[in-house]
Every structure is written in structure tokens, then in C-alpha cells.
Amino acid sequence: MIARMNSELTPSFVNRVKLSGLMNMVAQGMLRGLGKPVVYLAVTQALKGFHVSRALAAVTRSGLLEALSEQGGCRVDEYARSRGMNPEIALALCHYLVLAGFLRHQDGRFRWTSWGKWYSESEYLQGLVLFVHSFRDIYEHVEDALRDRARYPDDFRRDGELLGRASASVGRSLYFPVVRDHLRRQGARTVLDLGCGSGEFLMALVLEEDMTGYGLDLSKDAVEFGRRLAREHGLDRKLDLWTQDMFAVETMRARVPSVDAVTGFVALHEFLNDQARLVRWLSALRAAYPAAHCYFLEFTPVDREALQRRARLYQQTFAPEYLFMHDLTDQRLASVETWRALFRECGFGRIEAHCVQKVGADPLITLFHLSSDGAPGMTPAAR
């Protein structure tokens, strides 16, 4: 089944999260005056979070999440045996989540608590858990990297398939709908997605907007999975997915001579370590598709000194963890102004930066809408 885009993070939901974060900040400020006991509590809670995230990842990936969501609950040992799993481990996992507050156990069945339902029904939260889990090999080698006994990506890697699933889950709830709305306003009918993974964003466009989608990715497994899914749902006539390095612009253009829009989700920053190459590629892409509008979404944190000055505010978000994971994998992130300067260097005549998510007044996730001066349908941008 192809999941539809869903703006799960509605304004009312986001406001409730902000209020919870504000209350948490106030409580932390009051508790810090108590000294050592609060430090012990904070460290304990952090360690609990590590265990909870691993347990939730196992539940989410194994199919237990759906079984626990059934109306009558789930006899976990029976479910595990029927799926060839270890029933004792399945029970241990669920008993732990009972103590963590996510499940309740009654009459031999496990069910989600009201708190657990928030997780079981939130594709966004599930995506965050899977996102962290996709870096598990990296976390296991942090000490080796610190001692310079191992290096990324030669000795340890991210789980690319799981990262793709996680990104799609978060994207459907957070930023896919934003880009879709821009494409609607532009009147785009053909879209090329760079680093498309299994093509879930494009499938949603084909299914919901009757657009034609083209997508390329380096992962053969992700592309093959997407092709199979498209065939099963009869979308393959309007969706073309293939394996290719997106830097091979001429090969790309030979396959797709023209498109209305080009999209890319949190991919460009991976090439900031070789900015000259990135500029050459973006310039070639602009020249290859001069009439296309480009939509590139990136995480755009402020500089580290500003982050540290506003540490309490950022502690209520996933931003510190996201930055840490990128540091461990030798990836750079850039501010909105840095991206603006880079896009100007590539020859884009019009550059719009739309804030998708912010922390306080800081833009955390930004959608850049770019075009050449002659491209139709774009309003002049602030420079």
C-alpha cells in the first residue's frame, strides 16, 4: 500500500508541542537549583530514552506495532510464534514497554496506552525512531572513531534502506506536503526527484495529483523496491525510476529531456565538503533544465555559537541529535545565507527561501525554490 502525504504536524499540534517544551524548560530551570539529584535524574532519563528508542524500533520493524494496534490487543507470545520470532524476547520487549508507559498488559494481551497510541498512530514519530536506528552501526563505533581506529564510511556505515524508509515517513508528515503545494501553485505536471530512494514522494504525486514522475537514486535496492511497488499499484506508466549518480547530468538529460520541476530532499548538504564540485553540478543542472523550477529542502541550523547560546530552547527539539549524527558521518550543514550565496554562484536568478520548521526565530528546515531568470510562474524573490 502506498501511503499518502499527511500534514500530521498541524498548527494546533505544533503549538501543543511548543507549550510542552516551554513547560519543560521552566521545570528544568527550577529543578537545576536542586543540584546533583537533578543531574542524576537527567542522566537516567537520557539512558531510558536510548533503551526506549531501541525497543520501539524493534516493535516498529517487526510488525508488532500493527498487531498491538488491533482492537482486542495482542497475545504477543502467540503472535511471535506465528511469525517465527522468539516469544520470550517478544514478551520481554513488551513488558519493558509496559514499564516505560507505552503499553498496558491485561488478560494476557498487550495494548497501547493512550500515550503509546500517539506513537503507534504517528508516522512522523515512527520515522524519527527509525532514523536514529539507521545510525546504530555508527553509534556502536563512536569510541573506535574517537580513538582513530575506524573511519566513516570505510569501517562503518548508515543503514541506507532504513534511512530511506525513515526519511519517507518523516517527509510524508512534514515536508512532502509543503513541496506538493508549491508544485500545485506552479502548475507542474512533470517532476524529476534527485535521490528519490524508493520514489514514495513521486508515487504520491502520481496518485494524488496525476503528475508524471521521474526519479533516480544510487541505491539499487531502493529503486527496485519502488519499481515493484509502482507496478503493483498500476503507476509504472507515469513513474520512471532508475539507478544513477545524480551528478551525471548529461545521462540524466538524455533520459529526461525536459521537466517542469526538479526536487531534492536533504541531499545537497552531503556534498558541501566539496563545494566547488557542488557548484559545478548545480550550474550544469540549471543549464540542462533552464525552464524548470528547483525545490531543494535542507536543514539550515544557525552557527554553533548561536546554538549553544540558545541551548535550552534547542534541547526541546531533535536538532542537537541531528547535528551530532551529521558530525559523526563527516557531513556539513549550512545556514540559509550560505545556501543563498551558493545558489547565486550557480547562476540561479531567483531564489526564495521558505521556512518549513523553526526553533524560536531560527529557521531549522528550509525549502529553497530556485529558477533561472526566464523560468515562468515564479514571483521575484528577496535576495
Q: Report pLDDT digits (tens) over 225-249.
A: 899 999 999 999 999 999 999 999 9
Listing from the earlier edge strand, what are the strands of the sheet with 261-265?
A: 239-243, 212-217, 190-194, 261-265, 293-299, 362-371, 350-359
Supply 181's cell numbers. 503545494
Higher pLDDT pick, 198 / 41: 198
> Which pLDDT does position 221 carry in this prediction?
84
How far apart are alpha carbons 147 and 150 in whole angstroms? 8
Selection from 109, 33, 24 nearest residue 74 by Cα:
109
**How does residue 23 score in pLDDT terms, banded at 50, 70 and 90?**
very low
- Average pLDDT score over the chain: 87
Selection from 344, 333, 346 nearest residue 303 by Cα:
333
**How does residue 206 score in pLDDT terms, banded at 50, 70 and 90?**
very high
> Which pLDDT does position 380 carry in this prediction?
37
Selection from 180, 247, 219 nearest residue 191 by Cα:
180
Would you say residue 20 has pLDDT above 90? Answer: no
How far apart are alpha carbons 92 and 112 in whole angstroms? 16
Selection from 232, 222, 286, 221 nearest residue 259 by Cα:
286
* Residues making up the chain, counted from first to last: 383
> Which pLDDT does position 86 carry in this prediction?
97
How far apart are alpha carbons 193 and 246 in whole angstroms? 10
Phi, psi (rounded to 5 degrees) for 90? -60, -40
Domains and CATH numbers, the chain: 11-125 (1.10.10.10), 160-371 (3.40.50.150)
**How does residue 168 score in pLDDT terms, banded at 50, 70 and 90?**
confident
Lowest mean pLDDT among 107-121, 162-176, 365-379: 365-379
Mapped to the 3 state alphabet, what secondary structure does the chain carry? CCCCCCCCCCHHHHHHHHHHHHHHHHHHHHHHHHCHHHHHHHHHHHHHHHHHHHHHHHHHHHCHHHHHCCCCCECHHHHHHHCCCCHHHHHHHHHHHHHCCCEEEECCEEEECHHHHHHHCCHHHHHHHHHHHCCHHHHHCHHHHHCCCCCCCCCCCCCHHHHHHHHHHHHHHCCHHHHHHHHHHHCCCEEEEECCCCCHHHHHHHHHHCCEEEEEECCHHHHHHHHHHHHHCCCCCCEEEEECCCCCHHHHHHHCCCCCEEEEECCHHHHHHHHHHHHHHHHHHHHHCCCCEEEEEEECCCCHHHHHHCHHHHCCCCHHHHHHHHHHCCCCCCCHHHHHHHHHHCCCCEEEEEEEEEECCEEEEEEEEEECCCCCCCCCCCC
How far apart are alpha carbons 328 and 258 in whole angstroms? 38
Would you say residue 214 has pLDDT above 90? Answer: yes
**How does residue 34 score in pLDDT terms, banded at 50, 70 and 90?**
low
Read off the amino acid at residue 333. Answer: L
> Which pLDDT does position 304 carry in this prediction?
79
